[in-house]
């Protein structure tokens, strides 16, 4: 019998890669997407007509819709990837952020508890939950893992900490198979254009193809991030729900790079000097910054057998070449 999986946020970066993975494994996939005036199926264009894929409109803030879908499909697995996920926007829309990222999770967990208790649930947690906090090893190296205390620095991160704790509570209080993946930054050519990495690679794609003469405006270049490839990370999500016992896992590369390093590497890949094109815009600084993220995924390596397969340099190169190709055809 084919397994059935529900994916919220299927039209996003992670949702599209996960849907492809599960369809390759002969799952029946029910993809949930938010209603809008126009459809944005570009990321799932290669699978949109797949016979095992069903697409449904839904709203995370409406518990009756979630309950109805759970009753109808009785999924083996439920991957919640939908979120208001832009950190900067969360400062301007904190209420909306909480409605989607926290109350939405509560609605799903309640639905599983009351109508579909055998469903395995995956929650997309985030390294942003650590905020300014980190652990230090005996060699004075800074890192974050499953035991590092969470000190969030944005409404987005606070909403994710709340839902992360809800997953833990429902796991122990109601014996639900509920797990959270604490994913560090993960990118790809499918990354949204308002996120920093894609903003950089899109600009270079336009620049190389003579489609822009403006400067690239960026904020804080001194923040450090642990960047991996989204395709690697969705495989870790899948592995988490194949376990016999639910738990939470940090997913990361274990290497950190500054935003400045990402920018330099991106421009150098096309033999350009970033200093000629980048302009610092103070309005793009966050009200409260997360300065340093560098994960340790020893638990995921040991329990899941997961390790990342894409290097930082290969990730940058893939994103740059993709955007150069995109804007060559625009």
Catalytic residues: 126, 128, 156
With beta carbons less than 8 A apart as the criterion, state whether 77 and 147 touch.
no
Q: Which of 182, 167, 192 is nearest to 88 (CA)?
A: 192
With beta carbons less than 8 A apart as the criterion, state whether 60 and 8 touch.
yes
Q: DSSP assignment, residue 195?
A: S
13: CB partners within 8 A, 6+ apart: 43, 188, 190, 191, 192, 230
Q: Which of 88, 85, 81 is nearest to 223 (CA)?
A: 88
Give the burial class of 29: count Cβ atoms within 10 A of its Cβ; 0-12 exposed, 13-18 middle, 19 or more buried.
Answer: buried
Distance CA 41, CA 64 (A): 25
- CA 83 from chain centre, in angstroms, equals 9
With beta carbons less than 8 A apart as the criterion, state whether 200 and 270 touch.
no
- Backbone angle region of 173, left / alpha / beta, with phi > 0 → left and psi within -120 to 50 → alpha: alpha
- CA 290 from chain centre, in angstroms, equals 17
Distance CA 306, CA 298 (A): 9
Q: What is the largest CA-CA distance in the chain?
A: 58
């Amino acid at each position: 019998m084919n397994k059935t999986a529900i994916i919220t946020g299927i039209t996003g970066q992670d949702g599209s890669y996960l849907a492809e993975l599960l369809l390759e494994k002969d799952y029946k996939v029910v993809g949930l997407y938010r209603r809008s005036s126009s459809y944005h199926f570009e990321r799932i264009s290669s699978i949109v007509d797949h016979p095992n894929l069903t697409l449904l409109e839904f709203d995370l803030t409406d518990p009756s819709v979630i309950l109805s879908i759970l009753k109808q499909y009785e999924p083996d697995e439920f991957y919640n990837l939908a979120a208001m996920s832009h950190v900067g926007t969360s400062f301007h829309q904190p209420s909306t952020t909480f409605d989607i990222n926290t109350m939405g999770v509560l609605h799903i967990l309640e639905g599983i508890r009351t109508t579909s208790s055998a469903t395995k649930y995956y929650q997309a947690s985030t390294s942003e939950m650590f905020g300014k906090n980190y652990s230090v090893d005996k060699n004075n190296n800074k890192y974050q893992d499953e035991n590092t205390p969470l000190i969030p620095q944005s409404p987005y991160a606070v909403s994710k900490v709340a839902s992360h704790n809800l997953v833990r509570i429902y796991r122990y209080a109601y014996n639900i198979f509920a797990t959270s993946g604490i994913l560090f930054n993960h990118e790809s050519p499918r990354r949204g254009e308002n996120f920093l990495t894609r903003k950089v690679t899109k600009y270079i794609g336009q620049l190389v193809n003579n489609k822009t003469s403006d400067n690239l405006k960026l904020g804080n270049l001194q923040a450090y991030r642990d960047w991996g490839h989204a395709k690697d990370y969705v495989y870790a999500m899948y592995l988490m729900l194949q376990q016999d016992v639910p738990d939470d896992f940090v997913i990361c590369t274990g290497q950190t790079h500054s935003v400045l390093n990402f920018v330099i590497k991106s421009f150098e890949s096309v033999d350009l000097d970033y200093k000629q094109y980048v302009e610092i815009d103070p309005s793009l600084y966050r009200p409260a910054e997360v300065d340093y993220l560098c994960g340790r995924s020893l638990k995921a390596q040991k329990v899941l057998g997961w390790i990342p397969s894409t290097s930082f340099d290969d990730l940058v190169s893939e994103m740059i070449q993709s955007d150069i190709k995109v804007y060559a055809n625009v």
